[in-house]
Homo-oligomer: A and B are copies of this chain.
Amino acid sequence: MAVTMNDVARAAGVSLKTVSNVLNDYEFIRPATKQKVLDAIAELGYEANLTARSLRSGKSRMLGLVLSDLSVPYYAELASRLMTVASARGYRVLVEQSAAEEANELSALQGTFRQLTDGLLFTPLTLGAEAIAHHRGSKPMVMLGEHIDDPRFDLVTMKNVGAARALTAHLLAGDRRRIAVIGASEEDSTGSPGLRLTGYREALAAAGMDFDPSLIVPAEWRRDGGASAVGELLDSGADFDAVFGLNDALALGAMHELQIRGVNVPADVAVAGFDDIDEARFASPSLTTVAPGMDEIAERSIALLIDRVEGTETAEQGVHVEVEFELRIRASAP
């Protein structure tokens, strides 16, 4: 059996409650008593039982993170940073994969997963604002990445529109005139696809260029999605001199397919992505993309969530944080 507070109390010759007081930094304890307790703890190698503490106090010092799939590089890198930042503040992160399915997102929002954690970092993909508001429960929650722009929720996000606009402007400045977009459909206006597409349209408009719906190709946001989307474009004989993949996976898949088909990147077609995952830097050619400020997203969202959990952040309305981006101009679209 493990050492309990009772054993420590006996060894130190004090009451159980005094041990608890020492551990919780209660103010009025004589230094000598405190030392006795600390010595006993060290000698017995006592470690607090987190389950019992959690049951009694109602806090687990665990944060939940809901995302679609940990094997997506962007999410993996984000999760890694979130865990590191949380750990520095004494919290752990419990990850739940939703596979982008509504039922899973719902159960992560309500069920036992919620119970185990003090607060939630949520990347909704299928659930809308109303559904979330209705099922969210009472514990703190910070929305991530997706722009569910609703004053009821805390939100930490990247500048989707601005970044996409800047990246498109860069392509235009490089004399690309027919920029295909992969990963959205024409009518998208919300969510990451919609916002990034909006940035693209704004850049076109600013340059006085027409928007051509035939250059917008929907695709699953994965490498294979990017590959097949660009395949369709090529097969259809579309005329384009650049591809903007709405995330890096799409762009990398597209670039792969282009090269297989003998299209030179960037001479014939420039390629740009979004996210600046580590892989982008080492692709061949290296991928021009946008770094959405992942470190800052991780820090701000963890800080906000923990402040909510601990009652430090008291804003009534949802707090909205937008993080600065940086263009990463590389060989695929110089």
A residues whose Cβ falls under 8 Å from a Cβ of B: 2, 47-52, 54-55, 60, 69-71, 73, 76-77, 79-81, 83-84, 92-97, 111-113, 115-116, 223-224, 227, 252-253, 255-256, 259-260, 278-279, 281-286
Contact = CB atoms under 8 A, between A and B. Distances in A.
A96 B92 CA distance: 8
Contact of A51 (B47, B51, B284): B51
A50 B60 CA distance: 11
A83 B70 contact: yes
Contact of A50 (B116, B227, B256, B283): B116
A285 B50 CA distance: 50
A79 B70 contact: yes
A198 B96 CA distance: 38
Given A71-B77, A116-B51, A282 B227 contact: yes
A258 B161 CA distance: 36
A81 B97 CA distance: 10
Contacts of A95: 79, 83, 93, 95
How many monomers of this protein are in the complex? Answer: 2
A284 B262 CA distance: 12
Contact of A283 (B70, B80, B96, B284): B284
Contact of A70 (B76, B252, B259, B285): B76
Contacts of A76: 70-71, 73, 76
Contacts of A97: 80, 83-84
B115 A223 contact: no
A134 B125 CA distance: 45
A47 B111 contact: yes
A141 B312 CA distance: 39
A45 to B, nearest CB: 9
B252 A282 contact: yes
27 contacts: A49-B55, A50-B116, A51-B51, A51-B60, A51-B115, A52-B55, A70-B70, A70-B76, A70-B79, A70-B80, A70-B83, A71-B77, A71-B79, A71-B278, A73-B279, A80-B97, A92-B116, A223-B282, A227-B282, A252-B279, A253-B282, A256-B283, A259-B284, A259-B285, A279-B279, A283-B283, A283-B284
A278 B80 contact: no
Contacts of A223: 278-279, 281-282
B286 A256 contact: yes
A227 B223 CA distance: 23
Contact of A55 (B51, B92, B93, B255): B51
Contacts of A253: 282
The 8 closest A-B pairs by CB, nearest first: A76-B76, A71-B80, A70-B80, A256-B282, A223-B282, A71-B77, A51-B55, A259-B284
